[in-house]
Amino acid sequence: MTFPRIHNFLIRTVVVFTALSLFCCAAFAQPTGVVKGKVSSAINKEPLSNATIRVVGNLSKGTVSDIDGIYSLVLDTGHHVLFCEYVGSITDTFNVYIKQDIITERNIKLSTTAEELKTVVVSSGKFSQKLEELTVSMEVLKPSLINNKNTTSIETALEQVPGLTIIDNDPQIRGGSGFTFGVGSRVAIVVDGIPLLSGDAGRPEWSYLPVENIEQIEVIKGSSSVLYGSSAINGVISIRSAYPRLKPKTIISYSAGAYSVPPSPAMNWYNGSVPGFTNLNFLHSRIVKKNLDVVIGANFNIDQGYMGPAPSFGDLAPDFKKALLLTDSIYTYTNKDMLKIRGRVNVGLRYRSKKYTGLSYGVNANAMINKTNMVLAWLDDSAGIYRGYPGAVFLEQQTFFNIDPFVKYDKGNGVSHSLTTRVFHTDDQITNNQSTKGTLYYGEYQLQRRYKPLDLTFTGGVVTTIANTRAQLYDSSGKPNNTITNIAGYIQMDKKIWDVLNISGGVRYEYFQTNTLPSAAQPIFRAGASLKVLQGTWIRTSIGDGYRYPTIAERYISTKVGLFGVFPNPGLLPETSRNFELGVKQGFKIGNCMGYLDLAGFQQNYHNTIEYLFGVWNPKVSIVGFKFVNTGDSRVNGVDISLACTTPEEKKFGLAVLAGYTYVDPVSLSPDKVYAYPKKLQGGQDSATFRNSSLNPDGNVLKYRFRHMLKADVEVKLDRYSVGLSYRYYSKMENIDKAFKDIEDDTKTIPNLAPIIIVDYWKTHNGYHIFDARIGCKLTAHHKLSLIANNIFNVAYFLRPLKIEAPRLVTVQYVYTF
């Protein structure tokens, strides 16, 4: 047989076989029908979107409910057993009989039990879970507290979270770090699942976060590097934005306030300027044609601040300049220069496909222009406590924006895919040649698979981050342009056994490279379990690794700011940790108030601990300064107790409580390790150890930590009125750098130089009690008026050396909702 004949024969065979196959499929195709209905809450009748409906025994057949709670599923004719599940609700199992070409209606109402805490979180495993079932410690901050305290920058609300402290922009959880001016954060800041730290310094910019549109803030305490990467060595602050509900919503919030005048006339620097602020927030959210979610938010803020500019030294300036080893002029600023002005706008768009059930895609964007300032050190600890030190005050002009495209697909069969991306650009123009500019590129693909028969959830993903920065600050690397590349992959498994035991385990592999330096790679592991021992009583335990790679700023920053210098350390090594925790959570319900009491003991061990140390590193450049160094091994043991409870919002009488106490014992495990060789001010060289660099080496207590912290916020609502009281206690900071004492003594001997004063203030202040209060009245369904006072007793206190915290601030707030 010739080739053409063979070819024709094969074609005819394929055509005949295809025709027969189509005929057989048509002849023997299983007839089908449709089951459809609405999923709603049995309590308030509200529709539940994204509820999952699947066939028992065939999990590949399933769907999810839409924004109106409506679902539709094509099934073969005959009897079927289906189940509907929604996080925080009891799973409903039901039978249906499908008739050919007939639509069978089956509405579903899901209810909760009184014993459940009704708090759903997503940060622990990157999927929805009940708070009581977690294997880690977590605090949840509701938007009501953020709004009621008139939060214009999110860190002021986070200060109320038990176990968390913000020290000069740097978030610290359970004493896991000292103060670093926010550089190299050990706590990941995550917005809608995407990290939001600057690419060059790993620094959070709190004023950039859109406080006007927050659904919930979840704070994980303890290492979370497996899911969130390098910056999560101590924990995670996860901020979830709110998407529109069925009814459009618009909120306009305006507030104005004033700082108290300093108690001594000599401290008053205002000189006719207004010591206050004004703030305007706007938010509009709506659903367009049932498929497009639209959120628009904006903020405008003007704030004189409570820190004044450094004084002019007049005739002493030449000698002062010589004493500081300055080659350029000392900048002198006015009150007008110190005025802070911020404008920010954010947009969120999400489209839920009509053609493909479970497919959604969209983009979130945020942009800010911010004129602000940064005060590195106070003038002195008495009359100049609210003024900056000459050369240690910077003016900033920030232009930030990010664009976050995303795609998510959840068919309802237990498998979901998501791709989230971000381009984050920062341009921070700072006086004294401190400017930086950079762009961060982020992408993460995540696959999640739910195995219902095994009650097992698999989460896996791949992450890539590239951070490019340009700044003369970092030219000690050999050039002003620097790049960090991070590639990581992670897997986590979460399994539930008999509704009483939850186990979780995961692994992550990190790869880093800075410029052309040798790369670094590290595997990270974690495991945890949570056991329900009684109704409402859960015991948990977890162990996890942490890994943090140094930022560009930590390695290469080299600058001089007046009296102070900041010195590079290109040989800085990554730090690692291991965190262990044992805890118990007890849920309770007293009347209409539902909540929990949580007790946890923890131990955090660190290797190659990175600390930001103050000393005389090179007196030919600057007589004093800071440097990031590896100080050896350290350990933080402690106990964390927290209490949270709330009553339903619809009740006329309401109570909301968030309180906690944290005790930490932070110690150096290698106090005699030589970790640096700083210079002496009068010449020579020293070998620095933890012990000889500490002002209080007794007990080897780590520097810049608070051993005791107590926090509480209580709000009582009675019909249209509400009254709230907040309290924070910080015990004495037991240890600081000995160099502060040395510099204080040395600068007193230099003619015409204002001495650095810190030690006497530190010695004489043995802890702080800070109270805030607020009262609000809901005038109508749309209008609310509040009076808020922070630091009502006007306590002068500091959380890090050389900077005083804010005095009393009294604010009037008006909120219009429609």
How confident is the model over 781-796, as pLDDT tens digits?
999 999 999 999 999 9
Q: Which residue type sits at 749?
A: T
Q: Which residue type sits at 505?
A: G
Dihedral Cα 256, 262, 268, 274, nearest 10 deg: 10
171 and 188 Cβ atoms separated by less than 8 Å: no
Nearest to 303 by CA among 272, 342, 268: 342
pLDDT score recorded for residue 29: 55
What percent of the residues of the chain are helix, what percent strand, and what percent coil, each to the nearest 5? 10, 50, 35
Pick the CATH number of 120-817 from 3.30.70.20, 2.40.70.10, 3.40.30.10, 2.40.170.20: 2.40.170.20
pLDDT at 138 over 60: yes
pLDDT score recorded for residue 520: 94
Rounded-to-integer distance, Cα 144 and Cα 720, Å? 15
Rounded-to-integer distance, Cα 124 and Cα 187, Å? 14
pLDDT score recorded for residue 369: 97
The arrangement of strands across the sheet holding 187-191 comes to 137-141, 214-221, 235-241, 187-191, 194-195
Mean pLDDT across 503-531: 94
Reported confidence tier of residue 368, pLDDT bands at 50, 70, 90: very high
The first and second tokens of residue 444, run together, are 């993460």
pLDDT score recorded for residue 115: 45
The first and second tokens of residue 6, run together, are 């063979």
CB under 8 Å to 286, separation ≥6 — which residues? Answer: 244, 248, 249, 294
Mean pLDDT across 550-573: 87
pLDDT at 615 over 80: no
3-state SS, one letter per residue, for 506-524: EEEEEEEEECCCCCEEEEE
pLDDT in tens, 191-248: 988 888 888 888 888 999 988 888 888 899 988 888 888 888 999 999 988 888 878 9
Reported confidence tier of residue 20, pLDDT bands at 50, 70, 90: very low
Sign for the pseudo-dihedral over CA of 553, 554, 555, 557? positive
613 versus 502: which is more confidently predicted? 502
pLDDT at 23 over 60: no
pLDDT at 96 over 70: yes
Residue entry with tokens 């790369």: 519
- What single DSSP character describes residue 800? B
Rounded-to-integer distance, Cα 193 and Cα 196, Å? 9
pLDDT score recorded for residue 90: 78
Percent of the chain with pLDDT over 70: 91
CA 12 to chain centre: 66
Reported confidence tier of residue 480, pLDDT bands at 50, 70, 90: very high
494 and 503 Cβ atoms separated by less than 8 Å: yes
Query: Euclidean distance between the first and final Cα of the chain, in Å?
Result: 83
Reported confidence tier of residue 579, pLDDT bands at 50, 70, 90: very high
Map residue 168 onto helix, strand or coil: coil
Rounded-to-integer distance, Cα 42 and Cα 190, Å? 33
Reported confidence tier of residue 313, pLDDT bands at 50, 70, 90: low
The arrangement of strands across the sheet holding 92-98 comes to 58-64, 52-55, 78-85, 92-98
Mean pLDDT across 389-418: 90
Other beta carbons within 10 angstroms of residue 652's beta carbon come to 9
Map residue 11 onto helix, strand or coil: helix
pLDDT score recorded for residue 24: 43
pLDDT score recorded for residue 787: 96
pLDDT in tens, 656-711: 999 999 999 999 999 999 887 766 544 445 788 889 889 999 899 999 999 999 99
255 bridge partner residues: 279, 813
pLDDT in tens, 29-57: 578 899 999 998 887 788 888 788 888 87
781 and 816 Cβ atoms separated by less than 8 Å: no
Strands of 127-186 (E only): list them: 129-130, 137-141, 164-167, 170-173
635 versus 232: which is more confidently predicted? 635
Other beta carbons within 10 angstroms of residue 785's beta carbon come to 13
State the CATH architecture for 31-110.
Sandwich (2.60)
Mean pLDDT across 72-90: 84
Reported confidence tier of residue 13, pLDDT bands at 50, 70, 90: very low
Nearest to 205 by CA among 173, 148, 166, 234: 166
pLDDT score recorded for residue 254: 96
DSSP one-letter string for 649-698: TTSSEEEEEEEEEEEEEEEES-TT---B-PBPTTS-B--B-TTTTBS--G
**Per mean pLDDT, which range of 123-127, 286-290, 583-587 is the poorest?**
123-127
CB under 8 Å to 558, separation ≥6 — which residues? Answer: 473, 474, 475, 476, 566, 567, 568
Rounded-to-integer distance, Cα 793 and Cα 259, Å? 12
Mean pLDDT score of the chain, rounded to an integer?
Answer: 86
pLDDT at 317 over 60: no
pLDDT in tens, 146-181: 888 888 888 888 889 999 998 888 899 999 888 877
pLDDT score recorded for residue 290: 82
Q: What is the pTM for the complete model shown? A: 0.86
pLDDT score recorded for residue 4: 47
pLDDT score recorded for residue 274: 85
pLDDT at 728 over 90: yes
172 bridge partner residues: 165
pLDDT score recorded for residue 746: 72
The first and second tokens of residue 774, run together, are 């607020």
Percent of the chain with pLDDT over 90: 47
Rounded-to-integer distance, Cα 252 and Cα 431, Å? 35
pLDDT at 117 over 70: no
Strands of 415-536 (E only): list them: 415-430, 436-451, 456-470, 481-497, 501-514, 520-534
414 and 62 Cβ atoms separated by less than 8 Å: yes
pLDDT at 28 over 90: no
pLDDT score recorded for residue 322: 62
Nearest to 133 by CA among 560, 602, 546, 504: 504
DSSP one-letter string for 307-327: PBPPPP-GGGHHHHHHHTT-S
C-alpha to C-alpha distances, 366 to 284, 293, 444, 511, nearest whole angstrom: 15, 16, 19, 29
CA 208 to chain centre: 12
Rounded-to-integer distance, Cα 743 and Cα 747, Å? 6
Map residue 21 onto helix, strand or coil: helix
Dihedral Cα 223, 226, 231, 236, nearest 10 deg: -60
14 and 21 Cβ atoms separated by less than 8 Å: no
Mean pLDDT across 258-268: 85
Reported confidence tier of residue 88, pLDDT bands at 50, 70, 90: low
pLDDT at 748 over 80: no
pLDDT score recorded for residue 751: 65
Mean pLDDT across 730-734: 93
Rounded-to-integer distance, Cα 639 and Cα 677, Å? 36
